[in-house]
Structure 1
Amino acid sequence: MNIARIRSLVVKELLAVLRDKKSRIALFMPPILQLGIFAFAATLEVKNVSLAVLDKDGGKAAVELAQRFSGSPYFTRVFALAGQGQVAPTLENERAMAVLVLDENFSRDVAAGRQATAQLLLDGRRSNAAQIVEGYAQFVVKQYNDDLYAKRGLTGLPATLVARNWFNPNLDYLWFTVPNLIGMLSMIVGLVVTSLSVARERELGTFDQLLVSPLSPWEILVGKTLPAMILGIVESVAIVAAAILLFRIPCHGSLMTLAFCMVLYLFSVVGFGLFISSLCNTQQQAILGTFTFMIPATLLSGFATPLETMPQALQILSLANPMRHFLAAVRGIMLKGMPFDMALDTVWPLAPIAVVTLALAGWFFRRGLD
């Protein structure tokens, strides 16, 4: 074994990687980017919880309990509801993670030494977060009771909190996980097929043949988009069927609405895939680019950790993430029967995302043609 020859080969390989600008970027940027996102986004804490309060009583005890929630570090946004009719839209539109309902006799029961009941309605679509928020609320009520014991000498249990989970009454974790997997696995298919397509053509030397063919850049773009869309739709249909038939996930909404959202979602995913592919010269670079995009996209979608726990800058950045919008829609359609107009309000950002990414990919194709 010749140490000098091995040393020369090692130096040659290092120089080959470090002298190539794209290789340097692909080598160093993904870890730095993912370190920053993981540090702030990958947390199992539930913070910055939004709580709506429906105070039907208005008495001293009810107001005091509501103020306890406002002063709690766990609930950073506490707002009042005007009536019972606002409870369902607040949870459905995810304006709040929970709604605290204080009935008409709450203050009277506390003053009379009877057990007063407060109801906590939770968004069960996020089963893990719902359990944690319920624990926070129970702690606030416990402190409220302890203070009543100390100050007023009340006997018994002055106030009790009864929790009820909407959309997922038993907090079955599969009801949360499987709909999210529909979005993540569909993204993987769309990204892999498209991100490797142009890079593979360039690596094999056939991309130049495409450029000198009668096909225009936009025709090339459409020809690369449709196969990925077809494969993505077939894969997505299989995943949805498995979710409903094998995992017994309920689908209370329209399958046509879900299909519309899925097609729009795949268009935006394919746009990102083609954009990544148009920047890469080799399949290895395309795989690294896909990996670099997939991990942050998953973290910034609300799949593993709630978006409201993340810094404001990451929440704004997540608006450009197609998975964020689609996961909210697929959970809403399957678990609570979200109608088409509400689903459209959720997924409409996917259209400009698809337009921008496909336009950027087409621009890079035109640069290649020039």
Structure 2
Amino acid sequence: MTELIAYLHQILVLCRKELLALFKDPSSRVVLVAPVLVQSMLFGYAATYDLNHIYYAVLDQSHSEASAKLLNRLDGSGVFERNVTLTSPQQIPQAVDRLDAMLVLSIPADFADKLQSGEPAPVQVIVDGRNSATASSALLHMNRVITSFNQQQQLSNAAIQITRRAWYNPNVESRWSMMTAMVATLSIIQTLMLAALSVAREREQGTFDQLLVTPLAPMQILAGKAIPAIMVGLVQSTLVLLISLFWFGIPFRGELWLMYLALLAFTGAGVGIGLTISAISLTMQQAMLYTFLIILPLMLLSGLITPIDNMPEILQLSTWANPLRFGIELIRRIYMEGAVFADIAHDFIPLLIMAAFTLPLAAWMFRHRLG
């Protein structure tokens, strides 16, 4: 028992030493907190697929009461904003090419006559497709306005009406999906970097050799490096969680203890990867290079931007070695869905396997350095 207490005490002393080395420099404290706050705001406000303002141009060749009602419905939607009024079809390419309008609505001259006779009255919608995501969203908003206009004019004779309801995100706001994913994403970026630089920094400063001659075992060195990095990752995740909850007002539906259990498993897997990089790297420059090389693939293969099911099968298989994939899935399901442990237990297994592989691998490499 006494030996166990002494063993744990040595680990705590090493953790204290790591935290002091990390926080004694004011610039280091700023780097750990400021990027998380800034990036949370940037992703919350800028990285959103929601279109709240769609600038459009109109070519109204009908000049009728019906076309005026359609345009009034567009202008009163709160989403569409008329930026250009065209007088000829030849002006359409210029409006799109010069980015004056994301969308051009062309109403033919016989629009009102066809409506009055009960015939289909097509209108042409030209969308700037250089950004497929915004183009699809703009067309979706336009379809909603056209459908509403048809219902008002009592032109739809369909007996079946579709009522849509989005679970877990009633207004289908991309910010909700993005910010809940950022709870895991923003923390792993700095956690990986912190863990990857921990040993490489000591090698450059010449203190790693001093660490090796201490009576600490390789597993104690590993624990002393991993625990502070995990603590920093959890604090950063907490900051993003608080911003999502209180600044952006995204309701938290899950259980807090389960959220932190998921974050602990996810951060442990990320720290294991970072410490393995740190054990491989001889300099801080190498550690930073290796970290930057894997961060972008981790994010692209995580499901943050594109659904994993849409990826080629070989890439889908590679995501099983990506802790960020399971971290994002766990956080989103706990935060937005209110999932319980039984619903998400299977997502813990890959994270635990990654941690069980990378942390002993890093310890073996420390032991190899000792030899």
Task: Answer whether TM exceeds 0.5 for this pair.
Answer: yes
Cα deviation digits, residues 49-90 of structure 1 (max 9, x gap): xxxxxxxxxxxxxxxxxxxxxxxxxxxxxxxxxxxxxxxxxx
Measure, in 2, the Cα distance between the counterparts of 1:362 and 1:303.
31
Counting matched residue pairs gives: 225
Counterpart secondary structure, 1:348: helix
Q: Does 1:350 align with 2:351?
A: yes
Q: Which residue of 2 aligns with 1:216?
A: 217
Q: Does 1:207 align with 2:208?
A: yes
Cα deviation digits, residues 124-159 of structure 1 (max 9, x gap): xxxx89x88x97xx9xxxxxxxxxxxxxxxx94376
Q: Which residue of 2 aligns with 1:249?
A: 250
Which of the pair has more CA radius of gyration? 2
Is 274-283 or 209-218 further displaced after alignment? Answer: 209-218
Q: Which residue of 1 aligns with 2:284?
A: 283
Partner AA of 1:185 in structure 2: L
Counterpart secondary structure, 1:338: coil
Q: Which residue of 2 aligns with 1:317?
A: 318
Counterpart secondary structure, 1:251: coil
Measure, in 2, the Cα distance between the counterparts of 1:296 and 1:318.
10
Measure, in 2, the Cα distance between the counterparts of 1:344 and 1:259.
14
Q: Which residue of 2 aligns with 1:90?
A: none
Measure, in 2, the Cα distance between the counterparts of 1:257 and 1:301.
21
Q: Which residue of 2 aligns with 1:339?
A: 340
Measure, in 2, the Cα distance between the counterparts of 1:321 and 1:301.
7
Counterpart secondary structure, 2:215: coil
Gaps of 5+ in 2: 1-48, 50-132, 144-155
Measure, in 1, the Cα distance between the counterparts of 2:294 and 2:368.
23
Give the superposition deviation at 1:167.
Answer: 1.2
Counterpart secondary structure, 1:352: helix
Measure, in 1, the Cα distance between the counterparts of 2:232 and 2:327.
18
Partner AA of 1:264 in structure 2: A
Q: Which residue of 1 aligns with 2:176?
A: 175
RMSD: 2.4
Measure, in 2, the Cα distance between the counterparts of 1:347 and 1:292.
25
Q: Which residue of 2 aligns with 1:149?
A: none
Counterpart secondary structure, 2:211: helix
1:33-48 counterparts in 2 under 5 A?
none
Q: Which residue of 1 aligns with 2:196?
A: 195
Give the superposition deviation at 1:160.
Answer: 5.2
Answer yes or no: is the 8 Å Cα contact 1:257–1:343 preserved in 2.
no
Partner AA of 1:349 in structure 2: P
Partner AA of 2:336 in structure 1: L
Measure, in 2, the Cα distance between the counterparts of 1:242 and 1:251.
12
Partner AA of 1:191 in structure 2: L
Measure, in 2, the Cα distance between the counterparts of 1:346 and 1:194.
23
Q: Which residue of 2 aligns with 1:264?
A: 265
TM-score by length of 2: 0.57
Give the superposition deviation at 1:161.
Answer: 4.4
Give the superposition deviation at 1:318.
Answer: 0.3
Q: Which residue of 2 aligns with 1:165?
A: 166
Q: Does 1:368 align with 2:369?
A: yes
Counterpart secondary structure, 2:304: coil
Measure, in 1, the Cα distance between the counterparts of 2:246 and 2:157.
49
Counterpart secondary structure, 1:166: coil
Answer yes or no: is the 8 Å Cα contact 2:273–2:358 preserved in 1.
yes
Counterpart secondary structure, 2:164: strand
Runs of 4+ in 1 over 6 A off after TM superposition: none
Counterpart secondary structure, 2:252: coil
Q: Which residue of 1 aligns with 2:298?
A: 297
Cα deviation digits, residues 25-56 of structure 1 (max 9, x gap): xxxxxxxxxxxxxxxxxxx9xxxxxxxxxxxx
Partner AA of 1:231 in structure 2: V
Partner AA of 1:268 in structure 2: A
Measure, in 2, the Cα distance between the counterparts of 1:160 and 1:353.
49
Q: Which residue of 1 aligns with 2:4?
A: none
Answer yes or no: is the 8 Å Cα contact 2:183–2:238 preserved in 1.
no
Measure, in 2, the Cα distance between the counterparts of 1:160 and 1:313.
41
Partner AA of 1:260 in structure 2: L
Gaps of 5+ in 1: 1-43, 45-127, 139-154
Partner AA of 1:176 in structure 2: S
Give the superposition deviation at 1:367.
Answer: 0.9
Measure, in 2, the Cα distance between the counterparts of 1:335 and 1:293.
28
Answer yes or no: is the 8 Å Cα contact 1:300–1:321 preserved in 2.
yes
The percentage of aligned residue pairs carrying the same residue is 38
Measure, in 2, the Cα distance between the counterparts of 1:356 and 1:182.
24
Q: Which residue of 2 aligns with 1:87?
A: none
1:93-172 counterparts in 2 under 5 A?
156-157=157-158, 161-172=162-173
Cα deviation digits, residues 238-262 of structure 1 (max 9, x gap): 2211111111111111011101101
Measure, in 2, the Cα distance between the counterparts of 1:355 and 1:348.
10
